[in-house]
Amino acid sequence: MAALSLENLVKRFGETEVIRGIDLQIEDGEFVVFVGPSGCGKSTLLRLIAGLEDASSGTIRIGEADVTRLAPAKRGVSMVFQSYALYPHMDVYRNIAFGLTLAKTAKETVDERVRRAADMLQIGQLLKRRPRELSGGQRQRVAIARAIVRDPKVFLFDEPLSNLDAALRAQTRLEIARMHEDLAATMIYVTHDQLEAMTLADRIVLLNAGRIEQVGAPTELYHRPATRFAAEFMGSPTMNIMPVTVKDGAAELAGGERVALPGVAYAGQADLGVRPENLALADEGLSAKVVLVEELGEARIVHAALADGTMLSVRHPADGPEPARHAAVKLRVDPERLHLFGPDGKRIG
Ligand code: ADP
Ligand code: MG
């Protein structure tokens, strides 16, 4: 296991700068998730760490060693991809053992490591099967087991669950979390799925167009997003954003209604953000009209329009009567859970 550090890392493809100066320290044993929209550079950053791409400039250190110019096989990293390639003619045991066998590892060591990894991922009873006799989830676990047995310093995962259906994704996510607990290994996990990032990460690195937008614990990104981009990326349904004019400690909405912003000294144009669970149908509050109600089972999402047409989503309890379409309602805003962003997109207060 090892710590990892990136210093002013840059990657260009031709004229295009795809990774635009990344500085990041990852602790030994930490589970870090790179998250961000498609095309923001997550895979490229992971491939730079693995050595599958050459850095244009900057430094990559694993433990004490500068590995920036080192061949992939010498870096002590193991990578699991979204599309895993298992050898169809080999059984699960030999697929998992393949790298170790190639490296001429002693038979007993191979056996011990293969069985331990297989047990960890609950595929111990499948060792004699061929890949075609496995489900997608089982195959992906074989690919993960193959990475484990190599006993790498750092594990790299690039969207390993994207090809699985929702139930298997949730289950395999748990396996990965447990595996991290068991191995206490340094892991970097790439996903575009903010829920996967929230549930797995010790620390989230949110990327936006090749730069780090925000780094922090999942709850930190959720409750104190540093930018409007971070606010809208984390959370589902997405945070409501209302254009407002701020003056005298209150935000004035487009329709003229006011929301108190105690302690805010800022004055000028801004965006007021509030998550769906921090809005509630109440006797007093912003006037809105119900447009649509989505039933989620455990809750309902009420979509309502303010007088000026701004749409807001409200997380509403599933018990009790369902708000009627077109009904006039009042929306109470939780004053403790407001987010304010300036014209530059940065958090205010
Ligand atoms: P992500 O994994 O976050 O979806 P990628 O790291 O795959 O994003 O890609 C980031 C950007 O770099 C994209 O705009 C992509 O088109 C570009 N890119 C990735 N690989 C190459 C390459 N080999 N040549 C040119 N452009 C590339
Ligand atoms: Mg990718």
Q: Which ligand 1 atom sits closest to the C-alpha of 53?
A: 23
Tokens, residue 256: 């003229």
User: What is the predicted pLDDT for the residue at 164?
Assistant: 82
Residue nearest to atom 10 of ligand 1 (CA): 41
pLDDT tens for each residue of 312-340: 999 999 998 889 999 999 999 999 999 99
pLDDT tens for each residue of 46-75: 999 999 999 999 999 999 999 999 999 999
With a cut of 90, say whether residue 243 has pLDDT above it: yes
pLDDT tens for each residue of 3-54: 999 999 999 999 999 999 999 999 999 999 999 999 999 999 999 999 999 9
Closest by CA position to 301, among listed 222, 233, 238, 218 = 238
- Treating both helix axes as pointing N-terminal to C-terminal, what angle do 166-183 and 136-149 enclose, rounded to 10 degrees? 20
Q: How far apart are CA 154 and CA 188, in angstroms?
A: 8
Task: Find the mean pLDDT for residues 283-305.
Answer: 96
User: What is the predicted pLDDT for the residue at 322?
Assistant: 87
76's torsion region: left (phi>0), alpha (psi -120 to 50) or beta? left
Q: Please check whether residue 268 is in contact with residue 307, taking contact to mean a CB–CB distance below 8 angstroms.
A: no
Q: What is the dihedral of CA 157, 159, 162, 167, to 10 degrees?
A: 60
Residue nearest to atom 14 of ligand 1 (CA): 39
Share of the chain above pLDDT 90, in %: 85
User: What is the predicted pLDDT for the residue at 194?
Assistant: 95
pLDDT tens for each residue of 172-223: 898 899 989 988 899 999 999 999 999 999 999 999 999 999 999 999 999 9
User: What is the predicted pLDDT for the residue at 168?
Assistant: 81
With a cut of 70, say whether residue 1 has pLDDT above it: no
Q: Is the CB of 210 under 6 A from ligand 1?
A: no
User: What is the predicted pLDDT for the residue at 262?
Assistant: 87
pLDDT tens for each residue of 244-261: 999 999 999 998 999 999
pLDDT tens for each residue of 99-134: 999 989 999 999 999 999 998 888 999 999 999 999
Q: Is the CB of 47 under 6 A from ligand 1?
A: no
Maximum pairwise Cα distance, the chain = 76
For residue 278, name the pLDDT band (cuts at 50, 70, 90): very high
What structural domains does the chain harbor?
4-227 (3.40.50.300), 237-341 (2.40.50.140)
Average pLDDT over all residues of the chain: 95
User: What is the predicted pLDDT for the residue at 349?
Assistant: 84
For residue 84, name the pLDDT band (cuts at 50, 70, 90): confident
Q: Is the CB of 15 under 6 A from ligand 1?
A: no
The more confidently predicted of residues 9 and 171 is 9
Instruction: Specify the long-range contacts of residues 192-197, CB closer than 8 Å, at least 24 apart.
Output: 192/35, 192/36, 192/37, 192/38, 192/42, 192/159, 193/35, 194/35, 194/233, 194/234, 194/235, 194/236, 195/236, 196/33, 196/35, 196/161, 196/169, 197/33, 197/35, 197/234
User: What is the predicted pLDDT for the residue at 7?
Assistant: 98
C-alpha of residue 317 to centroid of ligand 2, in Å:
36
C-alpha of residue 47 to centroid of ligand 2, in Å:
10
Residue nearest to atom 24 of ligand 1 (CA): 13
Q: Is the CB of 44 under 6 A from ligand 1?
A: yes
Residue nearest to atom 1 of ligand 1 (CA): 39
User: What is the predicted pLDDT for the residue at 288?
Assistant: 97
Q: Please count the residues of the chain.
A: 349
- Name the pTM for this structure: 0.94
